[in-house]
Amino acid sequence: MFKREVKSIKSLIMQNLRAQGLETPLLQKRIMDAWPLIAGPVVERYTRGTSISNQTMYVHITNPALRADLSMRRQELVRLLNNYVGSNIIVDIRFN
């Protein structure tokens, strides 16, 4: 009898994405999509856009007081976002 190594579909897909260099962009997209869930509905109302460049997430916040509050919590937000996707994709968040 032959013994076969059984792999899950998820691991095969992630292995294929990694081989093609598409894993990181996919995880970055997931982080940007998770921003409203992690930050909450009030913050989402004042968010006008998100982007990621060089492991830094840029979030445009229209309310200056909220921007200052979020700046103080940015390390916590980085941790929560990275935990959400299960990988260290971003190292900092900048609010503008």
Task: Give residue 21's pLDDT band: very low, low, confident or very high (50, 70, 90).
Answer: confident
Q: Please, which residues have CB within 8 angstroms of residue 60's CB and are 6 or more apart in sequence? A: 47, 48, 49, 50, 95, 96
The answer to whether residue 1 scores a pLDDT higher than 70 is: no
Q: Please write the tens of the pLDDT for every residue from 27-80.
A: 999 999 999 999 999 999 999 999 999 999 999 999 999 999 999 999 999 999
The answer to whether residue 22 scores a pLDDT higher than 80 is: yes
| Partners of 57 in the β-ladder | 52, 93
Give residue 4's pLDDT: 82
DSSP string computed for 58-71: EEEES-HHHHHHHH
